Amino acid sequence: MDDAISIRQLSKRYDSGFEALKHVDLDIRRGEIFALLGPNGAGKTTLIGCVCGIVRPTGGTIVVNGHDAATAYRQTRAEIGLVPQELTTDAFETVWNTVTFSRGLFGKPRDDAHIRRTLESLSLLDKRDDRIMSLSGGMKRRLLIAKALSHEPSILFLDEPTAGVDVELRQEMWRIVRELRRAGVTIILTTHYIEEAEEMADRVGVINHGELILVEEKTELMHKLGKKQMSLELTEQLQSIPDALNRYQLELIDDGNVLVYTYDTHGARTGITPLLQELNEAGIRFRDIHTTQSTLEDIFVSLVKSPP
Ligand SMILES: Nc1ncnc2c1ncn2[C@@H]1O[C@H](COP(=O)(O)OP(=O)(O)OP(=O)(O)O)[C@@H](O)[C@H]1O
Ligand SMILES: [Mg+2]
């Protein structure tokens, strides 16, 4: 019960017969920012919908702060704020009324001080009496966050919070999300932007074709990304790597014409200098060197390009 959300074997088959989620297991830790990455149609919104009680799962269980989402819907829903992917708002209502009304929907007593604080933290307080239709796109997005926070949830879902927004607004969203985390809110955001996951997340999950194919600490992931490869094009084909070079764990590719050395850019020493020296001593000559570094994007692309 230490996790904010615990999902087991979650499956969703839509009436069309389409399997949008396939046996997903996922635990969201209290207080973390979890980024769910995945291409269009991967199942991100469906997953969120299941946790928020908007989509009815066809299998599995979801426990939110100890409440079973299937049997204790109201308690579960009260723990959650949802900023939906699609912007839908009642255009004629004012900012203040919209947020106050949202809180009322959850049966929470009126609390003007909380609404004030929420609007203030989202730089919307001076717009409190404005009608929604008069707000800019960025303000509307902030309003959706204010609505989602109106009933003081401990968990906030942001479904593509920065899709199609400009750089400035994206950074502002990131700032808001960080502030919320500092205030103790657990945050799950979905995104197409790898950069966003890199910037924001404590942990990253990758979903594709309804399957969760990777969940990892971002730092761990970044560590893997910190690996670089140096390829040496040899002047003469090599049959095998001399034993004296074993400690470098070299790889011989392209019929013995290229020697590949993988090293850690985060390490104090890369080992390149002694390697080159030892190659020289072993009489191995090369005509060209190039280095490559895998990015989160490479990992993502290689993960999601595999067929369903
Ligand atoms: N009501 C529905 N009936 C049938 N299929 C649906 C329904 N809603 C979603 N799907 C399908 O389920 C799959 C997952 O959709 P979902 O909206 O969860 O993806 P997503 O990862 O959020 O994508 P995006 O990045 O485009 O928002 C898609 O193939 C979609 O067409
Ligand atoms: Mg979606």
Reported as a single tens digit per residue, the pLDDT across 250-286 is 999 999 999 999 887 767 788 899 999 999 999 999 9
Ligand nearest to the CA of 14: 1
Q: Where in the chain is the domain with CATH 3.40.50.300?
A: 3-223
The protein residue whose alpha carbon is closest to atom 30 in ligand 1 is 41
Phi-psi region of 9 (alpha: psi -120 to 50; beta: other; left: phi over 0): left
Nearest residue CA, atom 16 of ligand 1?
A: 43
**Token pair listed for 232:** 């040496």
Which residues 6+ apart lie within 8 Å of 250 measured at CB? 241, 259, 260, 261
For the ranges 3-12, 64-73, 133-142, 155-164, the maximum mean pLDDT occurs at: 3-12
Sheet of strand 258-264, all strands in order from the earlier edge strand to the far edge: 251-253, 258-264, 227-234, 286-293
Query: Fold for domain 3-223?
Result: Rossmann fold (3.40.50)
Relative to the alpha carbon of 12, which ligand is closest? 1
Q: What is the pLDDT of residue 295?
A: 66
The full DSSP string for 72-98 is -HHHHHHTEEEE-SS----TTSBHHHH
Fold adopted by 227-295: Alpha-Beta Plaits (3.30.70)
Q: What are the residue ranges of CATH 3.30.70 in the chain?
A: 227-295
Is residue 111 exposed (0-12), middle (13-18) or buried (19+ Cβ within 10 Å)?
Answer: middle
Exposed, middle or buried, 287 (CB in 10 Å: 0-12/13-18/19+)? exposed
pLDDT of residue 90 exceeding 90, the answer is no
Instruction: Give 171-174 contacts, CB < 8 A, sequence gap 24+.
Output: 172/138, 173/141, 174/199, 174/200
109/94 Cα distance (integer angstroms): 20
pLDDT in tens, 170-186: 888 889 899 999 999 99
Ligand nearest to the CA of 207: 1
Q: Cα(54) to centroid of ligand 2, in Å?
A: 13
DSSP, collapsed to helix, strand or coil, labels residue 165 as coil
- Better-predicted residue by pLDDT, 194 or 112: 112
- Does this model's pTM top 0.75? yes
Residue 211 tokens read as: 């399957």
What integer pLDDT is reported at residue 263 of this predicted model? Answer: 86
Which residue's CA is the closest to the ligand 1 atom numbered 29?
A: 41
Candidate of 10, 12, 18, 300 to mutate for ligand 1, largest count of ligand atoms within 8 Å of Cβ: 18
CB-defined site of ligand 1, < 6 Å: 14, 16, 18, 20, 38, 40-46, 85
Closest-CA residue, ligand 1 atom 9, reads: 46
